[in-house]
Amino acid sequence: MDTGLSGKLVLVTGASGGIGAACARAFAGEGARVVLHYHRGRERAEAVAADCGAGAVLAQADLTREDEADRPFAAARAGMPVVIVSPTLPIGPGDRHLTPPTRMILDFVNGTTPAFMDFELNMIHVHDVALGHVRAAEVGMPGQRYVLGGGYRRLSEVLLLIQEITGVAMPRNASTGEPELEGDYLIKAQGEDVVAGIRLTQPLHELKQAM
């Protein structure tokens, strides 16, 4: 399928690893001329450039300054064809700085997560993020923002999946053996209420209905 990106110039920020590297390779695969921005990781950026073909160009810059980071938005307001893409919780290879999703997985595998609070989250693989960037460049409307996400899953489901892959057991309720958070709660309680047995605590799984 012709995406219309062949020969077009594409600037990829943070292209020395993670999402940026995956995006750079994806755009190069569509025939685009890729400019690879990096801050300090020149050797990693050069390795990515080698994957992107002879036309890839390296560009070093520090984009941590707020006024510099606002430039894409300013360009969009000035009428340049800028499309903004925002992923939810990206996971995958090349996450050198250990973003929160990767740190969460590593903490679980390394046994430093004795308990967890179950909630829904939306995760997406970096390769899918890269593909989303390519499609946004192909059909996105200039000045618009697009959210890239996978399906919603509860954290307990994610931990169970990691358990199946690694063999590391996820935190469980000591009373039932179920993969769930263990605990009790008591709304508007004072210490003497519990000590004196005036009021009884309720199981934590009922808290959602009580709130």
Angle formed at CA 70 by CA 66 and CA 74, multiple of 5 degrees: 150
Length of the chain: 211
- pLDDT tens-digit profile of 70-126? 665 565 455 567 788 889 999 888 887 788 888 888 888 888 877 777 789 999 999
Q: How far is CA 196 from CA 78, 189, 193, 200, in A?
A: 68, 12, 6, 10
- pLDDT tens-digit profile of 124-175? 999 999 999 999 888 888 778 899 999 899 888 888 888 889 888 877 665 6
Cα(35)–Cα(13) distance, integer angstroms: 9
Q: Which two tokens stand for residue 61?
A: 């810059």
Cα(134)–Cα(150) distance, integer angstroms: 17
